[in-house]
Amino acid sequence: MVDVVRHDRVFDRDLHAPGESAPTLWRWTLDLTRGTVAAEQLDDIPQEFPRIDERRKTMPHRYAYTVAMQSGAGVLGGSALLRHDLLRREVAVHDFGPYREAGEAVFVPRGPLSAEDDGWLLTYVHDGRTDRSDLVVLDAGDFTGPPVAVVHLPGRVPSGFHANWIGS
């Protein structure tokens, strides 16, 4: 299985941005014996920048995190992160509020053997009123709760900036 954000159309009429269709979350199930792919739409909310716990890459996973896209918030942006519980088929929303744009979230496990939701999510959040960004840390187990930490940065981190976590 591969979980992806799928665009119906991209860079076809608009060569400068992938804004021609609303990207949504899909699951592709590959049958290597038959050489087939079954496609299933998991959510119809427009979203981008899918991430999972890096320790679960190429393996079954329960949680996926994405950025919800909102009209008027930019081509690939919005004020909220989504947490998809793929086992229960539930979606939780963490909205950062008006004039704020969330970036791609990275999961940082509490320890090497921690569960998929035992750790933190790190994301940059741009404030359109101040043109500055914060590094926001959320408790993955309390996804809709208040941030664990907010680090005010001296400037703006560009929208769509990809991120990774490398533990020591």
Q: Domain map of the chain by residue range?
A: 47-152
pTM above 0.75, yes or no: yes
- Model confidence at 158, pLDDT cuts 50, 70, 90, reads confident
pLDDT digits (tens, 9 = 90+) for 68-102: 987 544 456 789 999 999 999 999 999 999 999 99
Residue 42 structure tokens: 């998991």
Measure the CA dihedral 108/110/114/115, to 10°: -60
**Residue written as token pair 């970036």:** 103
